[in-house]
Amino acid sequence: MKKKLHSLSFRLPFLYILSYVIIALIIILIVYNRFERMMEVNYTRMAEGVTNLMAEALDTDKIDEFIEKNYQSREYLDTLKYYFSLRDNYPDTYYLYIYRFHDDGDKPLATVVIDLDEEYTETPTQENLEWVGSEYEVDEPFASEIDKIIHGEEPVYHTVHTQDGEHLFSYVRPIRDENGNYLCSACVDFSMEYMHSQDVLFVIKLMGMLGVIMLIILFLNIYFIRRRITRPLERIEDCLDGFVYNTETDRFRNVQSLEELGIHLDNEIGKLYTSLNSSMKESLYYMTSLNRAKNEIEDKEKAIEEISKMTFKDGLTGVGNKAAFMRDTGLNDREILAGNTAFAVAIVDINNLKQVNDTYGHDAGDKYIMGCSRMICNTFRHSPVYRTGGDEFAILLTGEDYEKRHDLYIHATMDFKTSFAKKNAEPWERYSASIGLAEYKSGDMTANVVKRADKMMYANKQEFKKKYGSYRR
């Protein structure tokens, strides 16, 4: 179970689901806020319209008379009737009223000028008569903005939650006389309960629509991931878990079982499978070649090793061997201490020896080594040449060769390039090698010069591999 939770088969679909849920929530939140904002803008526009009409219909010269006589005044009743018609023509209107706001220093108050009842009537009740002209304390949030209500040029509006749990949009617009003095305020309250119910309904519909769309997309994505990514990876993993490497037969079966998977995809998984399959086949090929040549290699190495113990010459090429090189570098260090420092070291590493050995056999490989050795000796005629490894040679340049060291280096490099370019020659006769050259510097011992030459040789060998490819890749 723990392995399942950490597998791509579980993680990728989980990440997809989580991503879609987060995206859906963000979309819903943005749309919901945008929807509420638009509803608030719409209510503001309606409030501007209705309060403008209220202000136009109000005779500002008779405000005091309306407060004093109200229902006894014909004009008051006509204005009241008109306000009722306005309320009926504007949807969601909760209250329409005209208040005179003022601040007595202790607390803000509002005097009622007009306040609509549930239904229009020309015959007031005692409650109607007591209500007009009465004062009440202004509540928040308008209490803290009483100065703006009385003196401000712009209307004041807020979304208000009443004690009864009602959600109102309240809008207060100042009414002024001809001289710009504040007289009273036209006020309207809209019920936002309908808006909120529409918001909820909208969100539910949006969630349902997004849910269906995202489920379809999610199903298709998970199906695609399963078919194109996680299932092929699981098959490769199960196959690799069953690999055994004890014998050559085991390795052959490994290659066979991997090849039987038959994964053919045009994505990274397909490339991974193809690369893995090729690597396993190459590994099997190397193992088979190694086993075939093992006895021959061991016999030759033993023979060469025995000969090397008896002499300082390389048994295959006839040049000095590693022991001879170590002996002569020790002698050269004595010369350095004696003040004789005019010498250089060349390191030569044969290219593609392993390819020749593996492909054409070690006899061809030996011919290839001996041919390279002859080219080296022909170039550096006046200096001792040593075979220090299977495919590596070293030369101590002194005397005439030291004086011409740079020319000889260029000559040897060009000779190997020319030989390698002979496409019609046998592969083991297309000699190629990388060369490094270093000369003595103050404070050096022979080993220091060898290291610099070896470093230069390695850099040249990398360039050769970049240009012609590497057999070992």
423 within domain boundaries = yes
- DSSP structure string for 260-326: TT----SSHHHHHHHHHHHHHHHHHHHHHHHHHHHHHHHHHHHHHHHHHHH-SB-TTT-SEEHHHHH
Residues 82 and 161 in one domain: yes
Domain assignment present for 187: yes
158's CB contacts (< 8 A; 6+ apart) are 141, 142, 169, 170
Cα–Cα distance between 399 and 409 in angstroms, integer?
15
Provide mean pLDDT across the span 147-173.
80
Helix (H, G, I), strand (E, B) or coil at 153: coil
Does the pLDDT value for residue 456 go beyond 80? yes
Whether 58 is covered by a domain: the verdict is yes
Structure tokens at 66: 């309306």
> Per mean pLDDT, which range of 174-178, 310-314, 318-322, 426-430 is the poorest?
310-314
Cα 181 to Cα 3, 143, 152, 153, 175, distances in angstroms: 80, 20, 11, 11, 8
| Domain CATH code at residue 442 | 3.30.70.270
Q: Is the distance from CB of 90 to CB of 116 less than 8 angstroms?
A: no
Domain that holds residue 93: 8-198
Which pLDDT value is given to residue 332?
92
Summarised one tens digit per residue, pLDDT across range 341-388 is 899 999 999 999 999 999 999 999 999 999 999 999 999 999 999 999
Neighbours of 67 (CB within 10 A): 19
179 shares its domain with 32: yes
Same domain, 64 and 186: yes
Helix or strand run (H / E) with residue 399: helix 399-403
Q: Are residues 290 and 348 in the same domain?
A: no
Decide if pLDDT at 401 tops 80: yes
Tokens of 175: 């009414």
Sign of CA dihedral 77, 79, 80, 84: positive
Predicted confidence band at 6 (pLDDT cuts at 50, 70, 90)?
low
334 shares its domain with 383: yes
* Per-residue confidence (pLDDT) for residue 5, from 0 to 100: 46
Shared-domain flag, residues 157 and 183: yes
| pLDDT at position 84 over 60 | yes
326 with 461, same domain: the answer is: yes
Number of folded domains that form the chain: 3
In-domain check, residue 374: yes
Same domain, 295 and 321: no
**What is the torsional sign of CA 43, 44, 49, 55?**
positive
Torsion of CA 426, 430, 431, 435, to 10 degrees: -160
Task: State both tokens at 372.
Answer: 């390279």
User: Are 66 and 188 in the same domain?
Assistant: yes
144 belongs to a structural domain: yes
Residues 39 and 163 in one domain: yes
Hey, what amino acid is at 85?
S
